[in-house]
Amino acid sequence: IWVVVGGEFVALMNATSPPTTTQIENAIQLQFKMALGRAATKDELARFVSLYEQSAKASDAKTALKTVLQAVILRSDALFRSE
C-alpha cells in the first residue's frame, strides 16, 4: 500500500518489486485528478496501462511509471487547461 503525502508516488518509485496493475491504475487515476480535475475513462486507463507495460519491457518499472505519469501531464487538455 502506498500513501500520497508530500511526495506523490514515492512508495511506487522506491518499491522493491514492480507495482501491481491496481497500483498503476490508481496512480494514473490520481495523476488525472491532479492534472485534469477528473478521472480517466476506461479507454484512457487501458491506454496508459498499456504504455506502462511497453515501457517496463523496454526499461524498468520506475522509468515506466515516470513515463506514464509524464504522459498524462503532457496531454493537450492538461497543458491548456483553463480554470
pTM across the whole model: 0.82
pLDDT at 2: 43
Phi, psi of 33 (to 5 degrees): -65, -40
Which residue type occupies 44? E
Residue 6 has pLDDT above 70, yes or no: no
Which residue type occupies 7? G
Query: pLDDT band at residue 7, thresholds of 50, 70 and 90?
Result: low
Instruction: For residue range 27-72, list pLDDT tens digits in order.
Output: 999 999 988 889 999 999 999 999 999 999 999 988 999 999 999 9
